[in-house]
C-alpha cells in the first residue's frame, strides 16, 4: 500500500496568526448550538444595522448595473469623496487619482502596506497590547515585531519616549493605531506630534490605523497625516466597517504617498481586482449622505461605555479604565492570578459570557480581558451580573496552595 503524501507548504505560512475573536466566537456558537444563551462581548463589530440610506444606495447601484469590476484603485467618485473627507480633516490636499486606494476592507490595506514596506529582517514598531494582525502580517513578511508597551498607568497611551527607546537602525515601519483596539485608549495631539517627530528623524514609514477615529468620546482625534512632513511617509488606514456599521460590506481605504499607493493598487490587482462595485457606491452615500446615524451610534456607545465601566469597577478584584474611543474596554483581572485564556474559558462555559483574552493581543495583554460593548445595555448588564457571580465564586474557592 502506498501512503499518500502531499507537497510541503511554504515556510512563510508559519508567521501568520489567526484572530482570537473568531476562535472564541466559534466556541460560543457551539454552546448556542447546544441550546445555551450566550452574551457576545468577544467580537469587534457594531451591533447596529447599516443605515437605511446606505443600503438603499447599494440597492439602487445593483439595479443600475454596478455588478462588474471597477478600476483597481476604486470608483473615481468614491476616491474623490474619500479625498474630500480626508482633506477637510487634515487640512491638506489629497489627490484622488494617485493618493487614495479603495479596498475590500481596511485589512487588505494593512496587509499590502506591510508587504510593500517591510523586508525580511526589518524591525516594525507595534503597540502592545495591539490588534494581532499587525504582528501576524509583519512576521509573514519576514519582519521582526518590536512591541512597545501601552501601560495602564499611562491610560494605555503609546508613550513616544518609550517608542524612541525601541527604535533602532533596523526599524523600517512604525505602526500606530488610535483609538486603540483593544484598550479603547487614544493619543493626544502632543503624542501625535512627538510620534511624527520620531518618524521624520528616523526616516520611517508610518502606518496609522485610524479606523475608529469617528467613534470617540470627550476628546478630539488628530490625524498623524496632518503633521508636517508626514504625508510622504504615512499611510493612513480607514474604512466603513466601524463608523457606518458596514463590516459585511467589505469596504475600506488607504491614503498615502503616490509612490506607495501605486504598489498597493498593484497588489490589489493581483489579489482582489477591486472592492465590490455596489459596496463602493454605498460608500459614496455613507461619506456624502447625512451623518446623523453615526452621531446616534456614537451616543449609544457612550451610554454603554459608562454602564460597562462602572459595572466592571464595582466587581471586587476588577478594575477598568474609562476608554476614550472605539467600543472596547480592557479590564484588569490580574488580582485573580489566572491566565486570561483560562478566564475566558471559565466565563464562557460557566457564565455563558463570551469575552476575549488579553494575551491574544500580544505580550503586554496578559492579565486583561477585552470586552466589546457593541451590545445592548440590557445584554451588558446581564453579562456584568454573570461575571460578578463568577468572580464571587472564584473568591470563595480555596487557592491551590491553601
Ligand atoms: C484596529 C483595526 N483596524 C482594522 C480593522 C479591519 O477592519 P475592516 O473590516 O475594514 O477590514 C479592525 C477590525 O476589527 C480593527 O480593529
**What Cα–Cα distance (Å) separates residue 271 from each residue in 109, 133, 274, 394?**
12, 18, 9, 49
142: left (phi over 0), alpha (psi -120 to 50) or beta: left
Is the pLDDT confidence value at 382 over 70?
A: yes
Q: Report, as an integer, the average pLDDT of 196-215.
A: 97
Are the beta carbons of 330 and 180 closer than 8 angstroms? no
Contacts of 119 by beta carbon, 8 Å cutoff, 6+ apart: 141, 142, 143, 172
- Best probe residue, ligand 1, of 22, 25, 74, 106 (max atoms within 8 Å of C-beta): 106
Ligand 1 neighbours (beta carbon < 6 A): 44, 105-107, 131, 177, 181, 209, 211, 239, 241, 247, 252
Which residue has its alpha carbon closest to ligand 1 atom 14? Answer: 44
Q: Work out which ligand 1 atom sits closest to the CA atom of 110.
A: 4
pLDDT of residue 14: 82
pLDDT of residue 398: 66
Are the beta carbons of 251 and 279 closer than 8 angstroms? yes
Q: What is the pLDDT of residues 232-270, one digit of tens each?
A: 999 999 999 999 999 999 999 999 999 999 999 999 999
What is the pTM (predicted TM-score) of this model? 0.95
Which cell is 114 given? 506591510
Higher pLDDT, 90 or 205: 205
- Best probe residue, ligand 1, of 241, 271, 276, 323 (max atoms within 8 Å of C-beta): 241
262 CA to centre of own chain? 24
Give me the residue spans of the domains in the chain.
Answer: 11-49+292-390, 67-288
Q: What is the pLDDT of residues 266-300, one digit of tens each?
A: 999 999 999 999 999 999 999 999 999 999 999 99
pLDDT of residue 368: 98
The total of other beta-carbon atoms located within 10 Å of residue 281's CB is 23
Mean pLDDT of the chain: 95
**For residue 239, how far is its CA from the centre of ligand 1 (angstroms)?**
8
Q: Report, as an integer, the average pLDDT of 335-350.
A: 95
Using a pLDDT cut of 90, give the percent of the chain over it. Answer: 90
pLDDT of residue 24: 94
Q: Compute the C-alpha angle 210/58/81, nearest 5°.
A: 45
Q: What is the pLDDT of residues 117-135, one digit of tens each?
A: 999 999 999 999 999 999 9
Hey, what CATH class is 67-288 in?
Answer: alpha beta
**375, 377, 379, 380: CA torsion to nearest 10:** 90
Is the pLDDT confidence value at 400 over 80?
A: no
Q: Report, as an integer, the average pLDDT of 78-93.
A: 93
Instruction: Give the single-character DSSP code of 291.
Output: -
Q: What is the pLDDT of residues 158-193, one digit of tens each?
A: 999 999 999 999 999 999 999 999 999 999 999 999
pLDDT of residue 220: 93
pLDDT of residue 257: 97
Is the pLDDT confidence value at 334 over 50?
A: yes
Place of cell 457594531: 46
Per-residue pLDDT band for 402 (boundaries 50, 70, 90) equals: very low
**224, 225, 230, 236: CA torsion to nearest 10:** 90
The CATH number that domain 11-49+292-390 falls under is: 3.90.1150.10
Place of cell 474623490: 80
Is the pLDDT confidence value at 353 over 80?
A: yes
From 373, 214, 395, select the one nearest 308 (Cα to Cα): 373
- Best probe residue, ligand 1, of 74, 210, 242 (max atoms within 8 Å of C-beta): 242
Q: Work out which ligand 1 atom sits closest to the CA atom of 251.
A: 10
Per-residue pLDDT band for 20 (boundaries 50, 70, 90) equals: confident
Amino acid at each position: 500500500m502506498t501512503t499518500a503524501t502531499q507537497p510541503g507548504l511554504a515556510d512563510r505560512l508559519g508567521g501568520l496568526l489567526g484572530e482570537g475573536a473568531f476562535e472564541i466566537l466559534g466556541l460560543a456558537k457551539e454552546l448556542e448550538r447546544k441550546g445555551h444563551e450566550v452574551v457576545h462581548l468577544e467580537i469587534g463589530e457594531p451591533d447596529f444595522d447599516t443605515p437605511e440610506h446606505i443600503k438603499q444606495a447599494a440597492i439602487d447601484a445593483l439595479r443600475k448595473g454596478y455588478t462588474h469590476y471597477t478600476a483597481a484603485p476604486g470608483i473615481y467618485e468614491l476616491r474623490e469623496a474619500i479625498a474630500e473627507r480626508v482633506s477637510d480633516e487634515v487640512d491638506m490636499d489629497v489627490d484622488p487619482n494617485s493618493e487614495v486606494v479603495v479596498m475590500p476592507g481596511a485589512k487588505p490595506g494593512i496587509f499590502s502596506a506591510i508587504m510593500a514596506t517591510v523586508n525580511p529582517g526589518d524591525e516594525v514598531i507595534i503597540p502592545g497590547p495591539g490588534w494581532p494582525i499587525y504582528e501576524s502580517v509583519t512576521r509573514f513578511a519576514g519582519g521582526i515585531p518590536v512591541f512597545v508597551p501601552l501601560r495602564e498607568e499611562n491610560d494605555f497611551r503609546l508613550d513616544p519616549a518609550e517608542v524612541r527607546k525601541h527604535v533602532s537602525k533596523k526599524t523600517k515601519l512604525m505602526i500606530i493605531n488610535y483609538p486603540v483596539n483593544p484598550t479603547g485608549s487614544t493619543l493626544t495631539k502632543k503624542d501625535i506630534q512627538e510620534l511624527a517627530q520620531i518618524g521624520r528623524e528616523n526616516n520611517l514609514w508610518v502606518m496609522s490605523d485610524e479606523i475608529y477615529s469617528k467613534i470617540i468620546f470627550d476628546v478630539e482625534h488628530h490625524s498623524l497625516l496632518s503633521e508636517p512632513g508626514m504625508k510622504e511617509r504615512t499611510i493612513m488606514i480607514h474604512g466603513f466597517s466601524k463608523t457606518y456599521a458596514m463590516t459585511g460590506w467589505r469596504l475600506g481605504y488607504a491614503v498615502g504617498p503616490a509612490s506607495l499607493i501605486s504598489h498597493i493598487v498593484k497588489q490589489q490587482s493581483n489579489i482582489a481586482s477591486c472592492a465590490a462595485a455596489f459596496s463602493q457606491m454605498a460608500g459614496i452615500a455613507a461619506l456624502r449622505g447625512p451623518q446623523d446615524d453615526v452621531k446616534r451610534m456614537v451616543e449609544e456607545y457612550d451610554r454603554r461605555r459608562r454602564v460597562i465601566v462602572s459595572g466592571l469597577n464595582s466587581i471586587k478584584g476588577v478594575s477598568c479604565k474609562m476608554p476614550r474611543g472605539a467600543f472596547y474596554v480592557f479590564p484588569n483581572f490580574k488580582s485573580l492570578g489566572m491566565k486570561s485564556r483560562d478566564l475566558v474559558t471559565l466565563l464562557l462555559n460557566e457564565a455563558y459570557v463570551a469575552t476575549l483574552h488579553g494575551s491574544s493581543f500580544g505580550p503586554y495583554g496578559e492579565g486583561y480581558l477585552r470586552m466589546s460593548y457593541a451590545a445592548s445595555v440590557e445584554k451588558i448588564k446581564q453579562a456584568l451580573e454573570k461575571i460578578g457571580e463568577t468572580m464571587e465564586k472564584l473568591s470563595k474557592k480555596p487557592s491551590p496552595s491553601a
